[in-house]
């Protein structure tokens, strides 16, 4: 056992000496948290719109001003005829064109019925429908104001409550996602590449003549990455709480224990990959394309799993990140206890044991 720790220490020294790698390993979670926290959002803010105002009357001007002043839109272009719509879209200068007919004000005040046409660039379908929704809401408010103070009978009011996340902060959704991705990346990819490296350079043979069993040699390479994963995890949690002001609702101990379990799952995947390939390029490509991509797609973090075709929903059950993501959401955001994540925990545990067993079996065959 003593020899094992000597090996672990050697691996640590290797890792710490590589300043550039350490910089990225610590910088990556930082940058991802900052990007997700402050730069990325599918919310619509200050979208460029164009108007085609054939009416040019007081009512249409008022409405255009109102659209421009809202925090969702900016009137970037005023068009003269319908043909210009196409050009504006093809150059990507506006997301939405608002079209007023000739007699807008007259229709509104004398016929009690006026028309507006909205044309959205639905290349990006989500943004297009959100933009159209917002514009309709602003037009609806405008109509209310035209109506004045007249009170309608039989009003149904709706009281809204946002559970767990009253301010609708996006951090509540992405922090668990970033944790999942970073731990998967470090645990699986870094471990697999670092082990295959020894094989590729031929130094594995040297390690194997040591009095330790091969599997311990391999495990000693994994230990520094466990420590690194835990450090990154702590970094992410500190940023979530102190920079993004997202409280940890549930038990911190439970969260850390579950995270440690997930780190082991990722490591066992890394071991499995390294047991099966011979070159770093292949190891890297497999972890990146075969592991990281599915992890991103199937975690439920970026794309809702319910929307996927049935086959993919079934496949998603085989992806560890899906279960860990659900655990983190339940514990960290909703503040639920162990009984609500027991199922996910056992699935992860089962996967870890399975991957590990498979990896050990493969290593034995190959290294003797």
Partner 1 sequence: MRNLPFLLQKEFKQIFRDPAILRLIFIMPMVQLILIPFAADYEVKDIHISVVDLDHSSYSRRLVEKIRASSYFQLVETPPSYTEALKAVESGDADLILTVPADFERELVKSDEEQLHLAADAVNGIRAGLGTSYASQIIAQFNNEIRGEWYQFPRKSPFPRIDVSFANWYNPHIDYHIFMVPGILAILVTMVGSFLTALNIVAEKEVGTIEQINVTPIKKHEFILGKLIPFWVLGMVSITLGMIVAFVVFQILPLGSFLLIYLFAAIYLLGVLGIGLLVSTFVDTQQQATLFAFFFMMIFILLGGLYTPIESMPHWAQWLTKINPPAYFIRVIRAVYLKGSNFQDLLPEFWAMLGFAVFFNAMAVRNYRKRSA
Q: Are 172 and 333 in contact (CB under 8 A)?
A: yes
* Positions in 178-197 near partner 1 (CB under 8 A): 185, 189-190, 193-194, 197
Instruction: Considering only the stretches 126-134, 229-237, 261-269, 347-355, report the one whose residues sit in contact with partner 1 under the rule CB under 8 A.
Output: 126-134
Q: Which residue in 1, 80, 83, 166 binds partner 1 (CB under 8 A)?
A: 166
- For partner 1 (CB under 8 A), the number of binding residues is 118
Are the CB atoms for 49 and 252 separated by under 8 Å?
A: no
Among 3, 289, 318, 349, binds partner 1 (CB under 8 A): 289
CB-neighbour burial class of residue 238 (10 A; exposed 0-12, middle 13-18, buried 19+)? exposed
13 forms part of the interface with partner 1 (CB under 8 A): no
Pick between residue 329 and residue 352 the one whose CB is nearest to partner 1. 329
Least separation, in Å, of the C-beta of 211 and partner 1? 28
Considering only residues 222 to 281 of the shown chain, the ones binding partner 1 according to CB under 8 A are: 277, 279-281
Least distance CB 111 / partner 1 (angstroms):
8
Q: Indicate whether 124 belongs to the interface with partner 1 (CB under 8 A).
A: yes
According to the binding rule CB under 8 A, does residue 141 interact with partner 1?
A: no
CB-CB neighbours of 303 under 10 Å:
13
CA distance 150 to 160: 25
Contact between 115 and 101 under an 8 Å Cβ cutoff? The reply is yes
Q: Mapping DSSP to helix (H, G, I), strand (E, B) and coil, where does residue 108 land?
A: helix
Distance CA 56, CA 63 (A): 11
Alpha carbon of residue 65 to chain centroid: 36
Distance CA 89, CA 92 (A): 5
Residue 100 DSSP SS3:
strand
Q: Pick from 1, 80, 83, 158: which binds partner 1 (CB under 8 A)? A: 158
Least distance (Å) between residue 20 CB and partner 1: 6
Element (H, E) at 9: helix 2-17
Grouping H, G, I as helix, E, B as strand and the rest as coil, residue 97 is strand
- Indicate the residue among 186 and 263 with the shorter CB distance to partner 1: 186
Min CB(158)–partner 1 separation in Å:
5
Among 2, 81, 83, 154, binds partner 1 (CB under 8 A): 154
Choice between 7 and 172, CB closer to partner 1:
172
Asked if residue 365 binds partner 1 (CB under 8 A), the reply is: no
Residues 48-87 that bind partner 1 (CB under 8 A): 48, 85, 87
Q: Does 290 bind partner 1 (CB under 8 A)?
A: yes
Smallest distance, partner 1 to C-beta of residue 122, A: 4
The reply to whether 149 sits near partner 1 by the rule CB under 8 A is no
The CA distance from 27 to 221, in Å, is: 22
User: Which CA distances in Å does 230 have to 86, 109, 260?
Assistant: 53, 66, 8
Among residues 8, 55, 67, 108, the one that binds partner 1 under rule CB under 8 A: 108
Q: CB of 186 within 8 A of CB of 228? A: yes
Cα distances (Å, whole numbers) of residue 11 to 186, 216, 234: 15, 13, 22
The distance of closest approach from Cβ of residue 247 to partner 1 in the complex, given in angstroms and rounded to an integer, is 13
Residues 303 to 332 in contact with partner 1, rule: CB under 8 A? 303-304, 306-309, 312, 326, 329-330
Please identify, among the stretches 163-171, 220-228, 230-238, 359-367, the one whose residues bind partner 1 according to the rule CB under 8 A: 163-171
Q: Does 286 bind partner 1 (CB under 8 A)?
A: yes
**DSSP type of residue 267:** H
DSSP H or E segment with residue 51: strand 47-53
């Amino acid at each position: 056992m003593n020899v094992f720790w000597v090996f672990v220490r050697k691996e640590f020294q290797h890792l710490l000496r590589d300043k550039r790698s350490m910089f990225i390993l610590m910088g990556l979670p930082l940058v991802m948290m900052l990007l997700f926290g402050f730069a990325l959002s599918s919310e619509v803010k200050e979208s460029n719109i164009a108007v085609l105002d054939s009416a040019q009357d007081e009512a249409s001007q008022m409405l255009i001003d109102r659209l421009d002043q809202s925090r969702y839109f900016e009137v970037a272009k005023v068009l003269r005829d319908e043909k210009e719509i196409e050009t504006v879209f093809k150059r990507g200068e506006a997301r939405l064109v608002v079209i007023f007919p000739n007699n807008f004000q007259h229709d509104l005040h004398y016929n009690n019925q006026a028309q507006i046409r909205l044309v959205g660039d639905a290349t990006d379908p989500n943004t297009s429908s959100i933009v159209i929704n917002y514009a309709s809401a602003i037009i609806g408010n405008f109509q209310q104001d035209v109506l004045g103070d007249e009170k309608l009978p039989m009003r149904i009011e709706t009281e809204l409550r946002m559970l767990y996340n009253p301010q609708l902060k996006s951090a509540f959704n992405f922090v668990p996602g970033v944790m999942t991705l970073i731990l998967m990346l470090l645990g699986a990819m870094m471990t697999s590449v670092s082990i295959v490296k020894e094989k590729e350079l031929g130094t594995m043979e040297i390690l194997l003549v040591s009095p330790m069993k091969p599997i311990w040699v391999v495990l000693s390479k994994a230990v520094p990455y466990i420590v690194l994963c835990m450090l990154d995890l702590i970094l992410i949690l500190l940023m979530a709480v102190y920079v993004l002001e997202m409280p940890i609702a549930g038990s911190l101990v439970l969260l850390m224990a579950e995270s440690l379990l997930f780190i082991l799952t990722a490591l066992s995947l890394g071991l499995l990959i390294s047991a099966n390939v011979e070159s770093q390029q292949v190891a890297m490509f497999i972890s990146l394309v075969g592991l990281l991509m599915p992890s991103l797609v199937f975690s439920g973090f970026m794309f809702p799993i319910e929307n996927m075709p049935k086959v993919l929903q079934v496949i998603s059950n085989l992806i560890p990140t899906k279960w860990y993501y659900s655990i983190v959401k339940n514990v960290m955001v909703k503040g639920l206890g162990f009984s609500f994540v027991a199922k996910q925990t056992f699935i992860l545990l089962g996967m870890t044991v399975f991957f590990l067993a498979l990896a050990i079996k493969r290593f034995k065959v190959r290294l003797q």
